[in-house]
C-alpha cells in the first residue's frame, strides 16, 4: 500500500468507519425508505439473479426483491447485525476495497451512498473498480451482457437542500450526525427558526447529545461518470435524484 | 451465515482471488444451527444453475452433513411426482420433491453460527461470530 493510500485508509477508519459503528442503531432507525431509482433497479432484475449490495448498511435494500439473491456487505459489524434479518439474502462484514467474492460472480450490484466516503480520488476509483470486478463479464462475442451496477453518491449541487451546498463549494466536507440523548417522553415543541425539513437527530444538538462527524466527498456534475470510466466501466444511464448523482454502468469488454 | 453464501465467497486477499485453491472457503470448528425458513420453489429453481455443485458437495462433506447427490439436480428434480397424473395440467400448486427439501435444508436453513472460514490458498482464517462472517483483513494483507 502506498503512503497516501495508507493515510486514506487511516483517515476513513477514524472519520467514517468508527462513526457508523457508534451511530449504527440510531442511523438505522432513520434509514428505511428505499430511494425510487434503487427500488426500480432491484425490481427490474430477473428472478433468480444474484447480486451484491456493497456497503449495505442496515440492509434496507435487501427487503425490496425476494426473488433475487443478494449478498450484502458492510464495514460496520453493528450495521450488519441489523441487516442480517432479511431472508433469503446473506450479509457479511467486509471492506469494499477487499471484497471476498470471486471475480465475475454477480449479475448485478448496488453501491448506494458508499463511494463518497472514500477520501482520495484514487481510492474512489478503486472502489468503483472493485464493484465492476465482482460483476459478470460480457462475453467477447457480445452475445451476453456484462453485469450491471447502480452507483449512488451525494451531490455537491443541492442548493435547495437544508445543507445548501452548490457548485463552486468545497467538495470535501465533514457532516455532523447528532446522537440524541434519550429523554423522558414529553410532547415535542417546535422550536422557532428550525426549518421543518430537519431530519430528527441529524443536525440539531442539545444538551447531553453527542455529535459525530463523518467525512464525505461531494460529487459534482459529471464526476461520477468520469470515475466510472477511469475504473473501466461504461455508463448506460445516469441522472440526478434528490441531492444525489447516480449511474448505471457495466464493466468494459476488455 | 447460510451455506448458500459460500457459493459466492472467496478469500478477500487480492492475490488469492484468482487462485483456484481459494474457492470454496473451508469451514473449520463450525457450530451449525438450523434456522428454519419457508421453502421457496421458484427461488430454488432459479438459483440452481448458479451453484458450483461439486464445491457445495465438498463443503457439505467437510461439515459432516448427509451426502448430496453426486450430480447436480436439474429443475425437474425439484418437483414431486404428481399423485394423479391427470391433474398435472391444472397448473395448481406444485409440490417440492425430497430433493428440493434437502437442498433447501442444506443451502438456506443450515447456518454457520460460530467458527472459521479458511482459505485453501493462503491459509488465512476468517472468523464467524453470531452468524456473521468477518472478512476485514489485517493491515499487512491489504
Ligand atoms: Zn487467501
Domain assignment present for B51: yes
Domain assignment present for B84: no
Q: Tell me the pLDDT of chain A averaged across its residues.
A: 87
pLDDT of A34: 82
Lowest-confidence region among A151-155, A232-236, B84-88, B130-134: B84-88
pLDDT of A180: 75
Q: A31 φ, ψ to 5°?
A: -120, 90
Ligand 1 centroid to residue B123 C-alpha, Å:
6
Domain assignment present for B87: no
Kindly determine whether residue A98 and residue B137, on different chains, have CB atoms separated by under 8 Å.
Answer: yes
Ligand 1 centroid to residue B19 C-alpha, Å:
9
Is there a contact between A27 and A177 (Cβ–Cβ < 8 Å)? yes
> Can you spell out the DSSP letters for A180-209?
PPP----PPPPPTT--TTPPTTTS---TT-
pLDDT exceeds 80 at position A208: no
pLDDT tens for A150-182 read 999 999 999 988 888 999 999 999 988 888 776
pLDDT exceeds 80 at position B87: no
pLDDT of B76: 93
Lowest-confidence region among A71-75, B64-68, B121-125: B64-68
Kindly determine whether residue A101 and residue B5, on different chains, have CB atoms separated by under 8 Å.
Answer: no
Number of separate domains in chain B = 1
- Minimum-distance CB partner of A1 among B1, B131, B142: B142
Kindly determine whether residue A48 and residue B47, on different chains, have CB atoms separated by under 8 Å.
Answer: yes
Residues of B in contact with A67 (CB under 8 A): 42-43, 46
Q: What is the pTM assigned to this prediction?
A: 0.88
B9 touching A, CB under 8 A? yes
C-alpha span between A21 and B136 (Å, rounded): 14
Domains, chain A, with CATH or none: 3-156+219-251 (3.40.50.150), 172-216 (no CATH)
pLDDT exceeds 70 at position A32: no
Lowest-confidence region among A94-98, A225-229, B78-82: B78-82
pLDDT of A186: 44
Ligand 1 centroid to residue B10 C-alpha, Å:
8
B5's grid cell: 453464501
Count of A-B CB contacts under 8 Å: 97
- Minimum-distance CB partner of A92 among B13, B130, B132: B132
CATH of the domain at B28: 2.20.25.10
B103 touching A, CB under 8 A? no
Sort strands A108-112 and A148-154 into parallel, antiparallel or unpaired: parallel
pLDDT of B75: 93
Report how far apart the first and last C-alpha atoms of chain A are (Å, whole number): 26
Nearest CA distance, B78 vs chain A (angstrom):
15
Nearest CA in chain B to A94: B135
Residues of A in contact with B50 (CB under 8 A): 48, 50
Domain that holds residue B15: 3-76+96-136
Helix axes A3-12, A121-133, angle to 10 degrees: 80
pLDDT exceeds 60 at position B91: no
Nearest CA in chain B to A87: B37
Task: Give the percent of chain A with pLDDT over 90.
Answer: 61
C-alpha angle B51/B61/A86, rounded to 5°?
50
What average pLDDT does this structure show over B78-93? Answer: 67
Domain assignment present for B90: no
Lowest-confidence region among A140-154, A177-191, B26-40, B66-80: A177-191
Domain assignment present for B82: no
Nearest CA distance, B135 vs chain A (angstrom):
5
How many CA atoms lie within 13 Å of A130's alpha carbon, on the beta-carbon side? 26
pLDDT of A211: 86
B130 touching A, CB under 8 A? yes
Domain assignment present for B100: yes
Domain assignment present for B85: no
Nearest CA distance, A167 vs chain B (angstrom):
36
pLDDT exceeds 80 at position A130: yes
Domain assignment present for B88: no
Nearest CA distance, B26 vs chain A (angstrom):
14
Nearest CA in chain A to B24: A102
What average pLDDT does this structure show over A138-150? Answer: 84
Sort strands A210-217 and A233-241 into parallel, antiparallel or unpaired: unpaired
pLDDT exceeds 50 at position A184: no
pLDDT exceeds 80 at position A52: yes
Task: Give the percent of chain A with pLDDT over 70.
Answer: 87
Amino acid at each position: 500500500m502506498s503512503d497516501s493510500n495508507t493515510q486514506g485508509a487511516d483517515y476513513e477508519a477514524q472519520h467514517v468507519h468508527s462513526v457508523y459503528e457508534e451511530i449504527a442503531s440510531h442511523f438505522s432507525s432513520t434509514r428505511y425508505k428505499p430511494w425510487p431509482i434503487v427500488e426500480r433497479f432491484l425490481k427490474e432484475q430477473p428472478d433468480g439473479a444474484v447480486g451484491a449490495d456493497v456497503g449495505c448498511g442496515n440492509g434496507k435494500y435487501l427487503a425490496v426483491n425476494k426473488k433475487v439473491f443478494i449478498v450484502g456487505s458492510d464495514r460496520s459489524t453493528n450495521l450488519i447485525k441489523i441487516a442480517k434479518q432479511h431472508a433469503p439474502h446473506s450479509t457479511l462484514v467486509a471492506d469494499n476495497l477487499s471484497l471476498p467474492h470471486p471475480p465475475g460472480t454477480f449479475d448485478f450490484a448496488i453501491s448506494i451512498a458508499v463511494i463518497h466516503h472514500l477520501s482520495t480520488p484514487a481510492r474512489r476509483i478503486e472502489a468503483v473498480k472493485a464493484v465492476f470486478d465482482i460483476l459478470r463479464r460480457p462475453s467477447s462475442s457480445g452475445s451476453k451482457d456484462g453485469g450491471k451496477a447502480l452507483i449512488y453518491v451525494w451531490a455537491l449541487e443541492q442548493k435547495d437542500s437544508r445543507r445548501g451546498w452548490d457548485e463552486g463549494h468545497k467538495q470535501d466536507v465533514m457532516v455532523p450526525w447528532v446522537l440524541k440523548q434519550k429523554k423522558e417522553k414529553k410532547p415535542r415543541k417546535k422550536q422557532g427558526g428550525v426549518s421543518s425539513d430537519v431530519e430528527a437527530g441529524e443536525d440539531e444538538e442539545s444538551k447531553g447529545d453527542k455529535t459525530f462527524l463523518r467525512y464525505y466527498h461531494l460529487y459534482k456534475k459529471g464526476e461520477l461518470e468520469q470515475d466510472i470510466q477511469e475504473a473501466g466501466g461504461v455508463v448506460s444511464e445516469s441522472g440526478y435524484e434528490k441531492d444525489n448523482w447516480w449511474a448505471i454502468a457495466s464493466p468494459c469488454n476488455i | 451465515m447460510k451455506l448458500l453464501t459460500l457459493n459466492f465467497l472467496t478469500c478477500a486477499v487480492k492475490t488469492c482471488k484468482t487462485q483456484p485453491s481459494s474457492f470454496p472457503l473451508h469451514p473449520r470448528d463450525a457450530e451449525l444451527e438450523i434456522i428454519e425458513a419457508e421453502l421457496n420453489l421458484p427461488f430454488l429453481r432459479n438459483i440452481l444453475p448458479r451453484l458450483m455443485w461439486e464445491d457445495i458437495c465438498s463443503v457439505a462433506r467437510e461439515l459432516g452433513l448427509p451426502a448430496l447427490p453426486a450430480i447436480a439436480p436439474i429443475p425437474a428434480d425439484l418437483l414431486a411426482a404428481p399423485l394423479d397424473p391427470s391433474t398435472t395440467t391444472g397448473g395448481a400448486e406444485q409440490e417440492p420433491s425430497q430433493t428440493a427439501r434437502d437442498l433447501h435444508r442444506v443451502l438456506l436453513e443450515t447456518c454457520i453460527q460460530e467458527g472459521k472460514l479458511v482459505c485453501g490458498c493462503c491459509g488465512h482464517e476468517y472468523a464467524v461470530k453470531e452468524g456473521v462472517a468477518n472478512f476485514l483483513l489485517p493491515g499487512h494483507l491489504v
